[in-house]
Amino acid sequence: MLRAAPWLMIALLTLPVLAGLSAILLPAFGYLPALQHNGFGLMVWRELLETPGIGRSAGLSLSAALLTPLLSLMLVMLFLASTSGTRWASAMRRLVAPLLAVPHAAAAFGLAFLIAPSGFLLRLISPELSGWQRPPDLLILNDPLGLTMMLGLVLKEIPFLLLMALAALPQLNADQRVNMARSLGYRPILAWLWTVAPALYPLLRLPLFAVIAFASATVDVALILGPTLPPTLSVRIIGWFSDPDLNQRLLASAAALLQLMITLSAIGVWIAAEKIVARLYRALLLSGHRRHGHALLNVLGKSLMVITLGTLLISLLLLVIHAFAGPWRFPDNLPAAWTLQHWQSVGPLLLAPLGNTLLLGLVSTAVAVLLVVAVLEHESRQGRKPAQILWAIYIPLLVPQVAFLYGLTLLLEQLRWQPGLLMVGFAHSLFVVPYVYLSLAEPYRRLDPRWQQLAATLGASPNRTWWHIKLPLLLAPLATAFAVGVAVSIGQYLATLLTGAGRVSTLTTEAVALASGGTRGTIAVWALLQAAVPMLGFAMAIMLPRLWWRKRRDMTGQLT
């Protein structure tokens, strides 16, 4: 049973992706017998390349794919360098997980409320500083270059990369390296950048590739903050897919294949750039710079991170304000009155999406946790880990969602599978399993092997040991992994939309659907609920183990 778990997980994570990608291959070249397309050739590609603005759409995806990870990485590295060994680092550790729980869509809506022409930021400086009595006619949201969209992505990717970095740092003995370099005369930040950063980077590589893949093909953030004329490639694929004219699916297939190529070339460009940067970096490192720029880096590293995370926090706060805001004229900083009206209008519509969201989140996470625990327990009993697991974990995160999910949906349609909760849950688990694994693997492996050995010498079988010793010792990380899984499931927009054929509504699909045409109040209510459910999950994951173990001193607070 346990022996099968690793293979089951590898199959679960890779086969649907491969099946999805192969399902778009033939339609992309004109072959889709279900719709009486039996030809084979390059017509679809010709049509795709002649579509107005397609080059621009592709360019937007490519630039988002490269700039988002670059900015996020630089900010994270600078911040870690300027705060290594200080109290900032541990404070950040506590803040990062709940911020990571906020779904992309909710963060994007909050950001829109902050920086829109009629948003909070311009209200603060109007009319006193700006002189504006009405919202200026500026294209800040949906700007044609996609800068706002990238900002929205960066805000959400930074907590992700920070969490990955903070998890990887303990194995690097950062303090020792920094102290060594300091004893050679390097200022602390440069010491960190020269000795820790090069060792940390390889451990962030796969997460960075996941950021590239996500940024190149995001749909929900692009719908909320991205350009509209033309939109990003991923948004256009969804448009063609949901077109009533089914023939557009050929076009969508070719575009999905183009999307895959864009993502892969972005990763390729990144890998090529790595080599150049590594060479420059080494030259800089060996040049002996030990003082210059220290003060600047110090200020930059801390202030940029405060600005980024502050923006995210204020964005969330704006969701709360808008959800209860009555009339709110432009230059006013706060609403003139407060109201429950938005909640009353959303209330009756809430039950089904909320129920679906919770059901999908809890069931897909429960399955994922069982599978991941089985894999890790097998690994711990065998005393070795199969190397393929880590790559399998990243497959669904590295292949652009829109490409393989779209193909998977085509395939399921052809097999006449009913879209519904079951299929959506299955699609969610493709993303829930990797994140549950990433969250749980470290604590599971770090558990002192002597507990298990001790239990065995006392005559306990491996199963009894698991239930009585390992499960209680791992309760806190298990609860965190569970909260991570639920948060990932709640954040899924595309997987829900495609495999549910638009018929399965969740908090996320409802919120994103309002991006064009919803009132601010209702958008805020949906986005707030979408953010609140995963945050509640994290709060419970932190509280429950502490309550449970309140009478056991060594069990509180050590294993989070």
Give the Cα separation of 54 and 394 in Å (integer): 29
For residue 292, the 8-state DSSP code is T
Find where tokens 């694929």 sit: 237
Helix and strand totals (H; E) in the chain: 25, 0
371 vs 455, which CB is nearer to other proteins? 455
Smallest gap from residue 404 Cβ to other proteins (A)? 36
Smallest gap from residue 475 Cβ to other proteins (A)? 8
Smallest gap from residue 458 Cβ to other proteins (A)? 4
302 vs 385, which CB is nearer to other proteins? 385
Give the Cα separation of 437 and 444 in Å (integer): 10
Query: Of all helices (H) and strands (E), which one includes residue 50?
Result: helix 43-50
Smallest gap from residue 393 Cβ to other proteins (A)? 23
Smallest gap from residue 375 Cβ to other proteins (A)? 18
Smallest gap from residue 167 Cβ to other proteins (A)? 23
SS3 assignment, position 320:
helix
| Bond from prior residue into 230 cis (ω within 30 degrees of 0) | yes
377 vs 413, which CB is nearer to other proteins? 377
Binding site for other proteins (CB under 8 A): 382-384, 450-451, 453-462, 468-469, 472-473, 549, 551-555
SS3 assignment, position 386:
coil
277 vs 456, which CB is nearer to other proteins? 456
Q: Closest by alpha carbon to 372, among 318, 445, 313?
A: 445
Smallest gap from residue 486 Cβ to other proteins (A)? 25
Give Cα 110 distance to the centre of its chain.
Answer: 16
Give the Cα separation of 444 and 81 in Å (integer): 28
264 vs 544, which CB is nearer to other proteins? 544
Start-end of H helices in 447-506: 449-457, 462-465, 471-473, 475-491, 494-499
Find where tokens 């239990």 sit: 455
298 vs 560, which CB is nearer to other proteins? 560
Give the Cα separation of 459 and 240 in Å (integer): 63
DSSP string, 410-453: HHHHHTTPPPSHHHHHHHHHHHHHHHHHHHHHHHHHHS-HHHHH
87 vs 450, which CB is nearer to other proteins? 450
Smallest gap from residue 472 Cβ to other proteins (A)? 4
Inter-residue contact 198 to 172 (CB < 8 Å): no
Give the Cα separation of 51 and 140 in Å (integer): 26
Smallest gap from residue 557 Cβ to other proteins (A)? 12
34 vs 456, which CB is nearer to other proteins? 456
86 vs 388, which CB is nearer to other proteins? 388
For residue 472, the 8-state DSSP code is H
